[in-house]
Amino acid sequence: MSISPRNPAVAVVGATGAVGIEILRCLEQRNFPVGDIRLLASARSAGRTLPFAGREVAIETLTEDSFKGIDVALFSAGASISRRYAPIAVEAGAVVVDNSSAFRMEPQVPLVVPEVNGETTGKHAGIIANPNCVAAIMVMALAPLHRARPIRRVHAATYQSASGAGAAAMEELRQATAAYLADRPFEHKVLPHPYAFNLFSHNAAIDEETGYNGEELKAMAETRRILGTPDLPISITCIRVPVLRAHSIALTIEFDQPLAPEEARALLAKAPGVALVDDRSANHFPMPSEASGRDDVLVGRIRRDIGDPSGRSIALFVSGDQLLKGAALNAVQIAEQLFPR
């Protein structure tokens, strides 16, 4: 499907959510050639306005008639909304970039991280999927290494921020932290466990057969699909930590041949969308406080895995903004591929 408008009409579905707000910022900051913009949300948000490109844009109620004249629709409102409205948007003539899990594993829907498999964007049939935030951030570090030495196995542990659960979870963390410091009781409602000064297993449902939760299963399956390695063994443990935004990931990667840490460092240093933060003398490595608000995924702590005597494994640490590369920025980058300047 070819895309031709020079200044496409854009719809943002879920415009009032944490990711929707970031999509608007990315469109503006990256000077995406918006011809017209339509902000769509639930009826309770209708009539409010959001700033965009120096003006206030009214929020409209999402309906089946919302996509007339729209060229690209950026969805960030949950899987049920996407399943219902994305086909309607496509039928109206729009290309959908969907941030939910609704279509990520559909064979006819490309699952895209532009720096990794951007060539698949043009193979869409109206819908393009934005990956799970963990997968999107993780493959930014894995792909440059995999191109040099095929990966045989990945072990990962995540440290996932409140932003992954949305604006309500971020606000709960703020309030819970204030209450804890003031020695006041606080009743958590958004997440299932106390969040301030605590960490816990990701709150996605546990699969009884494997013992992995839904977040872990999604991240493993989507990473394989993005890398084009359907049989790649991956094991991951996903943990919520009391950080407002930016997810971090500890990775141990086994290759089919030895890869020296110095070569891995050089490969990552020149990889697009990656920033090397690997200062051993200052003990300065990727941190969510420095990844927050940044487009690049921070990578560092690069070292040989001394638990593998074969020399084929390295360990490293990654931190990336879940609301940006893990969601909004990646969606806008896909849209930029659809409408190149």
Closest CA to 235 of 224, 227, 248: 224
Beta strands in the chain (DSSP E): 9-13, 36-41, 49-52, 55-61, 72-75, 95-98, 127-129, 151-160, 200-201, 234-240, 247-255, 274-276, 297-304, 313-320
**Rounded to 5 degrees, what angle do the CA atoms 47, 39, 46 make?**
20
CB atoms within 10 A of CB 175: 17
Q: What totals of helices (H) and strands (E) does the chain contain, helices first?
A: 9, 14
Closest CA to 333 of 91, 140, 164, 66: 140
- Cα dihedral 12, 85, 222, 224, rounded to 10, equals -110
Helix residue ranges, H only, 270-340: 288-291, 329-338
Q: Which residue is it, tokens 């301030």?
A: 196
Active-site hit among 124, 133, 202, 238: 133
Residues 102 and 82: beta-carbon distance below 8 Å:
yes
Active site residue 238: no
Active-site hit among 124, 146, 202, 247: 247
Q: Pairing relation of β-strands 49-52 and 55-61?
A: antiparallel
CA distance 81 to 64: 11
Q: Which residue is it, tokens 């409010």?
A: 48
Active site residue 247: yes
Catalytic residue ranges: 133, 247
